[in-house]
Chains A and B, each alone.
Chain A
Amino acid sequence: MKPDIEVIPIETDVLVIGGGLAGCMAGIKASEYGVKVTIAEKANTLSSGCAGTGVDHSWAYIPPIHEKMGWTIDDLIEDHTQLIARGFINKGLLRLVASENYNRMLDLEKFGIKIRFEDSKIPGKFRIVYQFHSLPSSFNFDGRDLKVKLTLEAKKRGVNIVNRVMMVALLITDGQISGALGISTNNGHLYSFRAKTVVMSTGRANRLTPNVTGIWGNHRIPVNETGDGRAMACRAGIPVINMEFLSSGYYSIGNYELNLGSPRNTVQPAAAVTGPNGEVIVPRTRFYDWDNLGKEKVDARISRQKMLSGNRNPRPSYEQLKQQGEGPFYLDLTGGTEEEIKYIEWSIRNEGKGSLFLDYLKNQEGFDFRKDKLEWLPNSREMAGTASSGLVVNNDLETELKGLFGAGDDVGGVPWAGAPGAFVMGWRAGEKAAKEARQQKNFLPADAGQIESIKKLCSGILQSKEGQHWREIELAVQNAVDYYAGDIRAGNTLRRGIERLNDIKKNTSFRAENPHELMRCLEVQSIIDNAEMVLNASLERQESRRAPFGFIRADFPEQDDAKWLAFLSLKRNEGKFEFSRIPIRQ
């Protein structure tokens, strides 16, 4: 491979970095304002992001249903704040997502997604199930091909989609965003985007710890999501919040976190979790009684209190149960009705890796929900709560850097915003970014020095003969995060973890044979930056905050709301982190 890196200059009014759900929605909306819009995507927008192979659920305040129940938007917000986030949430952003997502679901319908079903008893012919809240609030829908439909819609509107470019650096001119730089994963060319505004929507930070099976790609979240957005923000000195919330191992089915009625999850009717003799550990849940809709008004306050009092005495985790000699645990839908089993199969087919999983389960394993059970096993650690960690934004999705917006899982402070967060924040960020770009007459000059330094970095990796393969470095970082930022953390070990990570960085020298490997090296660089934020933030937060994040400090075992009911913000300045606390308004 020739180390000469060709520069491809592209001018666009709005640049969207990352073409998952949020990025596609941002691009689609921005196109309505007569500006030139480009989505830069590391893979291919047809299949990329957390919903690359489908998402089947999306929570919202649904007026035609919830009004009949006597449940208000404020009830939903209180449910999410208390039941899900335990008060640890940006209520302004939560309100935006909660109140706007119904409209976004209707938009998705316009883009060709089926959200109404003939056999439904629910007004609007929707399929609505329980998820996070005290009443059913999540649409179930045919979301398998959502990314294909969003890509087609974006193209129809003239959005320029540039696939196979991994973005690595933000360009800043005079305290304002002026573009961003990316590397083609096909040919190693450097894409130099000049833009008036930028929407950051690269998604979650995955691959921070080893997976549990030894199969590299075996994580719940798509493995090419390596927190590139947070890493770029960190390198540019833009604050990122809540990076300490790397939660302990989930339980799931191999890598396939399925929403197969896993009881803590999103699909209803859910399977039970049972023990070796069929004893119920977590009971099943069933369909809501829709025939009863409107006949009695719910008292949201009472139902919330009931759920909260249940939550205050949480059952032990599966890991704790196992340490007490309990287990194995099974997902158990035996005894489900044919209607329930059909519904669950439809739902799995539309969610994430479910389509492939169902095919594998039936055709390669001969599995039958009516009689067989699936063992529930541990999975790797993840950043907790989707959009709980990420960029600091206001209700218009603006960051502190003029012209830079955040969307979806790249935004922090809205735990479990999930797909609704991506739809709503993407849409709003696209609108605001387009309107701001329209105000700005000219492009700002790009910093030639920054372009040169990325060129030098990449050609250095491609020319290296002595350096390490990216996997060697990735594994070293993952092992350090796994040990030092494990289930229970403490000051002394976290300080040592930071030293170890610095040693790894000192001994790191990337080598790539081709642009594909260069991309993996740059991903591992993102993982290093994210790991550094996780370790430093974990050391800084001097309290434990079990629910909902499972953050435990052995040396600070109590939750300290007086001091720490606050988002912890990190900002890198000349190699050192500066911390600040953003109090959470109740």
Chain B
Amino acid sequence: MFNPIVFNEKTCTGCNNCVDICLMEILEANPKKGKPPLVKYPDECAYDGACWMRCPQREKGAIRIVPPLPMRVSILRGEKP
């Protein structure tokens, strides 16, 4: 239903650190070695960010967490200070 975690095939090395660490056990190692994990239970994401924090390729954008629309913040935009 939701798509909370987006992997970048180009920069993810398939190390599966995120699979090991996920609090909610929503990820599964890809049967193809070196490929990004599969998001097996996307509806059980806790949006805590542990997978993203521990990703060694984070700076290269290997993993991105996208909150679903109802969870996005409501912002009152101001003028430039």
Contacts and interface: CB of A to CB of B under 8 A. Distances in A.
Q: Which of B22, B46, B65, B67 has most chain A Cβ within 10 Å?
A: B46
A353 B52 CA distance: 11
Given A224-B46, A356-B52, A372 B75 contact: yes
A215 B68 contact: yes
A185 B45 CA distance: 16
Contacts of A254: 67, 71-73
A185 B41 CA distance: 14
Contact of A372 (B23, B43, B78): B78
A343 interface: no
Contacts of A256: 73
A214 B43 CA distance: 11
A436 B22 CA distance: 35
Contact of B23 (A47, A352, A357, A371): A47
Chain A: interface secondary structure? loop
A47 B76 contact: no
Contacts, number: 117
Chain B, interface size category, equals 35 or more
Nearest to B76: A373
Given A53-B50, A353-B48, A356-B52, A48 B75 contact: no
Interface in B46-81: 46-50, 52-54, 65-68, 70-81
B78 A371 contact: yes
Contact of B67 (A360, A367, A370, A377): A360
Contacts of A224: 23-24, 46
Contacts of B72: 254, 365
A222 B45 CA distance: 10
A113 to B, nearest CB: 16
A164 B53 CA distance: 20
A374 B74 contact: yes
B45 A47 contact: no
B23 A48 contact: yes
B5 to A, nearest CB: 11
Contact of A370 (B44, B50, B74, B81): B81
B9 interface: no
B80 A213 contact: no
A44 B20 contact: yes
Contact of B25 (A216, A353, A365, A516): A516
A330 interface: yes
Contact of B74 (A44, A214, A375): A375
A53 B78 CA distance: 31
B71 A215 contact: yes
Contacts of B75: 365, 367, 372-375
B73 A52 contact: no
A214 B70 contact: yes
A377 B22 CA distance: 27
A448 B15 CA distance: 41
Interface string A329-355: 010001000000000000000001101
B46 A222 contact: yes
Interface of B: 2, 20-25, 41, 43-50, 52-54, 65-68, 70-81
Q: Which 6 A-B pairs have the closest CB atoms?
A: A356-B49, A371-B78, A375-B74, A47-B50, A213-B70, A217-B46
28 contacts: A43-B22, A43-B24, A44-B21, A44-B23, A47-B22, A164-B25, A216-B43, A217-B43, A218-B70, A218-B71, A223-B24, A254-B72, A254-B73, A255-B47, A256-B73, A334-B78, A334-B81, A356-B52, A356-B53, A367-B73, A371-B80, A372-B76, A373-B76, A373-B78, A374-B73, A375-B75, A375-B76, A516-B41
Interface of A: 43-44, 46-48, 52-53, 144, 164, 185, 213-218, 222-224, 253-256, 330, 334, 352-353, 355-357, 359-361, 364-365, 367, 370-375, 377, 516, 519-520
Given A224-B24, A224-B46, 15 more contacts: A44-B20, A44-B22, A46-B54, A47-B50, A52-B50, A218-B71, A254-B72, A255-B71, A353-B47, A353-B49, A372-B75, A372-B77, A372-B78, A374-B73, A516-B41
